[in-house]
Amino acid sequence: MTDHVTDALRTAHTYQLSESGLAGIRTMLHDAFGGDFGAEDWAHALGGVHAFVRDGRGVAAHGSVIMRRVLHAGRSYRVGYVEAVAVRADRRRQGLGGRVMQVLETVIDGAYDLGALSASDDGAELYRVRGWQLWRGRIEAMAPQGTVRLPEEEDSTWIRPAAGAPLPGTAAGPLVFDWRDGDVL
């Protein structure tokens, strides 16, 4: 039986985590995503603030928020992009994902214009109940060859305005994300 007394929620920037700490997070993510969490997914989760819960068996839950740029309606937004949110299989449906997201949302509110993430169908409910909104407009990315449309992301991209900020409107055009290797979103 897992010792839930050790369910302390911790935060740290990537540079503050040891190699063994990062390895423990990466192993949990690999397992939680059924082996479908590759090197590029891992790279996307680095360089920002990590929120994670450890229990007697290791990392039980994790999420990170990194900075990205998004163009919309002639403006460049500083976006807190949520990455690598997962809960170990034996700890799901115990509120750990919500605890991790609460910390990440606090970071978004304090440091960014808005939050964004790409959610699986299984994960979307967590974000919906927390007030995130499904983006109903076009999703694009700045690519080496120019701006490209990402229709496969148009039904899975969620946004959340930072505290007190207005939500960008879909009528004003697409969200155009910065380019990165691997899956853009």
What is the number of domains present in the chain?
1
The HSE-up count of residue 70 (CA atoms within 13 Å, CB side) is: 26
Q: CATH no. for residue 122?
A: 3.40.630.30
Helices (H), 39-112: 39-44, 96-111
Using alpha carbons, select from 97, 113, 111 the residue that is nearest to residue 159.
113
Please indicate, yes or no, whether the overall pTM of this predicted structure exceeds 0.95: no
Using alpha carbons, select from 107, 169, 159, 108 the residue that is nearest to residue 132.
159
Using an 8 Å Cβ cutoff, are 123 and 158 in contact?
no
Would 136 be classed as within a structural domain?
yes
| pLDDT, tens digit only, all 185 positions of the chain | 445 556 889 999 999 999 999 999 999 999 999 999 999 999 999 999 999 999 999 999 999 999 999 999 898 999 999 999 999 999 999 999 999 999 999 999 999 999 999 998 888 999 999 999 999 999 999 998 899 999 989 989 999 987 666 667 766 789 999 988 876 66
> Residue 132's domain spans which residues?
4-177
Read off the tokens for 77: 């937004």
Would 185 be classed as within a structural domain?
no
Read off the tokens for 104: 């990440």
Bridge partners of 54, per DSSP, are 59
